Amino acid sequence: MAFAAGGLIGGAFFHLLPEAVTIGGTPAFAMTGLGILVFFALDRVLSLQHRYATHEQVHAFTYLTLIGDSIHNFLDGALIAGAFLVSTKLGLITTALVIVHEVPHELGDFAVLIYGGCSRLQALGYNLLSALTAILGGMCTYLFSVVVANLQVPLLAISAGGFLYIALADLLPELQDEQRVGASLLQFVLVLFGLVVVWVGTFLPT
């Protein structure tokens, strides 16, 4: 999670936001703020399932988790497609960042499905189906971009806002639960490493 947090912050500040500002100017900053609010609203809506779930409701909770995960994956697909519309380099970097932050997320969903009564095979199958919505998100973004001009700027800016929200509101707070000095130092190093890896990506050919 520490490496993912650094990578997402770096992706927002080193790639997505600069590209958005280059293409669309200063309004891209306002769109980035809007992206943070959009992801906050989605997070709050989807988090309601956690607040009201009880052991007796756990089966319903698993279905809600799948719905939320499908929406999340759809948005991930849209982010990746939007980045590839700008450049291959940006698309590859965005894909890598999405994969890094999705690994712990999908592991958590797998555990929820097992807890909800699914077998391991069923949990893997449901996770695969929800992951396929990322392809749908990418296709919709590509088709929509053909019709609507200047879609790149809001996609990039909102994606930057989404990456910042995930890193600052979700991943970094989780890291603060660690009380051991050595582990905390390792977390800091990994966050920094994530930033450096994405920064180095700025020197790759477009």
Q: How many domains does the chain have?
A: 1
CB 99 within 8 A of CB 83: no
- Considering only residues 64 and 128, tell me which one the structure prediction assigns the higher pLDDT: 128
- Side chain identity at 162, as an amino acid letter? G
Distance CA 177, CA 74 (A): 30
Burial of 60 (0-12, 13-18, 19+ CB in 10 A): middle
- Side chain identity at 155, as an amino acid letter? L
Q: How far is CA 123 from CA 71, 85, 107, 144, 201, in A?
A: 17, 33, 10, 32, 35
Domain that holds residue 8: 2-203
Least confident of 44-58, 67-81, 179-193: 44-58
Q: Largest Cα–Cα distance in the chain?
A: 54
Least confident of 24-33, 60-69, 172-181, 183-192: 60-69
Tell me the mean pLDDT in the region 119-142: 87
pTM above 0.75, yes or no: no
pLDDT, position 205: 63
